[in-house]
Structure 1
Amino acid sequence: MKNIHYYFPLIHLVLCFLSASLAISTTNITTDQSALLALRAQISADSNEILAKNWSSNCSVCDWIGVTCNSRPRRVIALDISNMGLSGLIPPQIGNLTSLVLLNMSKNNFYGELPSEFAQLRGLQVLDLFKNNFSGDIPPWIGLFHELQYLDLSTNGFTGIIPPFFSNLSNLGLFAVEYNSLHGNIPQEIFNISSLVTISFVGNSLSGGLPDYMCNNLPRLNWLTLSLNKLNGSIPSSINQCSQLQVLSLSDNQFTGLIPKEIGNLKALVKLNLGRNSLEGKILILKTFNSHQLLKCCSN
C-alpha cells in the first residue's frame, strides 16, 4: 500500500479547486475593494505613500493607482503595484480578486509565504513576484492557473523543489525562478510545454541531468539559462531541436563529456555560455556569431 503522504499534493489541489469555485460565485467589486484594503492594512512600509494616500474608500477602487477594472461586470482585472517601495505580508483576502488577469508585485519587499487563497486566482495570465522576499515552497496550486502565460518568481527566498505542476500550464511562455534556494531535479514535465519561450533557473542548487529529449517539444524556446546550479551529466545532442535558441547558458554546473557538435547548428544563437564545467571539444560554427563573445563563453 502506498504511503498516504503520496496523495497529499492531490488532496490539496482538490481542496483549493473547491474553495476557488465557491469564491467565484460570491465575489463582486465590493469584495475586490475589501481585498485591496486588507492588503493596504498589511503594508508595513510605503516609502512613497502611494497606497496610504490614494487607496481610499472615498473613491472608486477602479480609480486607485495600480488598479485596472473592466466594465461589465465591474471587477478588478489587473493589479500592478510593482516598484513602489512597499513592504509587508500578503493577506488571504487577496484570493477574493477572482477576476484578476494580471498580478504584478515585483521589485518591492513583500515577504512571508504565499497564502493558499492565491489558488482562487484561476484566471491569472501574468504572475510577477520578481525581486521580493517571499519564502517557503513554490506552491503546487500554481498548477490550477491554466491560463498562465508569464510566471516570474525570481530573486526571492523560495526553498524546496520545483513542484511538477506543469501538465496543465499549456499556455506558459515564461518561467523564471532565478536566484532562490531551490534544489532537486528539474521536473521533466517542463520540457513538454511547447509554448515556452523562456526558461531561466539561474542561481539555485538544482541537480540531476537534462533529458535526452529536452528540446523535442520546445519549438519556440529562445532563452535557456541554467547557470550556477549543480546540474550534471552530458549536454543532450538534441539541443539543436531548440532551433530558435538565442541564449544558451549552462555555465557553473557539473556537466561532463563532449560539447555536442549540434550546438553549431543553432542558427539563431547569439550568446553561449558553457564555462566552468568539465566539458571537452570544440564547436563547429555554421553561421557568423559574435566570435569574441562565443569563445570567451565557451572557455573553462
Structure 2
Amino acid sequence: MNITKIFSEYFNRNGYGLGIFLLVTVGFWVILLIILPQLSMLDFSFRHHLPPPEMGGPKDTYTIEHYKYLVLGAPGSDSSYNVVDLGVFGRTLLAAIFVTILDLVLCYPLAYYLGQSSGGGFTRVLVLLLIIPYWINEILRAFAFRIIFGESGVINEMMLAFGLINNPIDFIRANVALYAGLGYAYILLMIFPIYNVIESLDRNQIEAARDMGAPWWRIHWRVVIPYAKPGIVSGCTMVFMLSAGALAAPQILGGPSSLWFTQIIYQWFNQGGNWPRGAAFAIVLLVTCVFIVLSLMRLFKVKMGDIGK
C-alpha cells in the first residue's frame, strides 16, 4: 500500500477538515514537543561545560567526556568506575521494574473484573472511585503518603493500637512508602489499557474453556493473558518509563539511601549548573529505558502496531 492510498483512505474516513487538524495537532505534539527537545538534549550532551560567554566560540566543540564520567567517574578518582552513579542508575531501573510488576499484579485482577463485568452501577462507581483521587495534585498525594507511612502516621498508629508492633516502623527509610507511592501514582495507566483489551474478549471463549474443565489459572494463562498481551505491554511500558523518570515521589517519599537517578540529573542541571552532563545522564536513562522496553516487546512477541490498536 503506497503513501498516496494511505492518505486518500485517511481523508475519506475523517474528511479534509478533521484530517488536516489531526495531522497538524499530532505533528506539533511529536515534532515540537518530543523530537526537537530530545535532539537538542542530545546535542547538548556532547558539548563542553563552558561559561556562557564562551558558548558558540572555538572551545565549544563536541566531546564524550560526560558519558565517560558516568562510567569512569572523575579523572584521578580511586575507583576505575563511577560506582556511585552507576549504582544509583542500576537501583533506579530495578526499582522501576519492581513497581511495574507490583502494579501489574494488583491491576490485572481488577482490570479483568471490570472488562468482563456486565457494566452495572457498581462497576461505574468502582471506576469513578479509581479516578477521583487523581483530581488531587501529584505532589499533594505524595505528601499524603508520607504522612500515612510516617513513624507517627496512620499505619503505625493502627498497628500500635492493635498490638501488632511494639515500636513504630520507619517505612520511609525502608522505601516502602516510595514503592507504594510510585505504584499508586501510575496505577490507572496499568488498569485501563488492560481493561480496554479484556473488554473486547469474547466471553464465550472463557465459557468454552470452563466447560472443557480448565481451571481458572489455565483459563487466564491460555486464553485471557495472550489476548490481553498488548494491553499488558502498553500498561507496563507507561508505568516503567514514568517510574524510572519520576522525580517528585523519590524526593518526597525516598529515604536517605534511596537516591534516584533522576535526582542526580536534577542536581547536575540545577545545583551543579552543568547542563551538558545532566543532558548526557538524561539521554543514557532514556536510551536504556527504550532499549529495555523494545527488548521485552521482542521477547513477548508484541509489535508496536498491536499496542496502538
TM range (shorter): under 0.3
Greater share of strand: 1
Taking structure 1 as the reference length, the TM-score comes to 0.23
Q: Taking structure 2 as the reference length, what is the TM-score of the superposition?
A: 0.23
More relative contact order, 1 or 2 (CA 8 Å, 6+ apart): 2
* Structure with a larger share of its residues in helix: 2
